[in-house]
Amino acid sequence: MDGALGTIRDWASTQGIAVGQVPIPGQSRRVAEPVDAASCDVVFALGGDGTTLAALHAAAPVKRPVLGVACGSIGVLTAVTAARLEAALEEVAAGSWTPKQLPGLEVAAGTGDPWMAFNDFTVIRDGVGQVIMAISVDDELYARTAGDGLVIATPLGSTAYTMAAGGPILAAGAHGMVITPLAPHGGVVPPLVVGPESRVALSVEPGYGGARFELDGQDAKAMAAAVTVTLRPDYATLVVVAGQEPLLTGLRRRALVVDSPRILARDARASRPQPR
């Protein structure tokens, strides 16, 4: 990360641009003077997908774009590696980058302000026992389930927790939400994809061990019996630069999607030198 910071500082000095640090919860290291995201033209996230998610949470409410810089292995949200950062900054300076609009999950529980998530909203058991939920879509009951919980994901989040739980991936251009039960105890409750304008309502019974809510993997520190989830389109903006890796290509590179062993074995045989 230090190398990426140096690249940004050098570039900013040649452009006459000030560099500040947007405070993020849990981040104690100080690398620049603290600034509010609203005072920035672009927010750079140096790290991995988790850092970029934190930057999106800070930047989206004030409609600032985020450029994710991978200081390690490039992920879904990070646009470039630290080695390619200088070229990406030149694109940003020239205004030749492309905005990628991301939807957010708006989660309403009780009478307080709604929560927002970019990957997923999760209801998960917090001890022994099961979470019991009734899942309705646009006022139509889908299923009542008992188990470890449930994940509701955006298209972006469909490659995260919900994919690990056996839910489908929404490819680029697909819109909507994915509802994936977690280890349901009996019954038949397959993952469900709903439209971008649908409203998902959950009636939650936490059971003996209790339950918790998570937003993008972070504990929401709250619980409610009734929750409503909707998709807010174009809630955040990611910076896309030339040559950025497509979603499905990235999943294959990171071996999150792997070909059939039979196909791989056939390829291996075909690549072996043939005896003369």
| Tokens, residue 171 | 């490819």
Reading phi first (left if > 0) and then psi (alpha if -120 to 50, else beta), residue 247 is in alpha
Is there a contact between 49 and 57 (Cβ–Cβ < 8 Å)? no
Phi/psi at 8 (5° precision): -65, -40
| Tokens, residue 194 | 């709903």
**Active site (catalytic) residues:** 49
69 Cβ contact partners less than 8 Å away, ≥ 6 residues apart: 4, 44, 45, 46, 47, 78, 79, 80, 81, 82, 85, 88
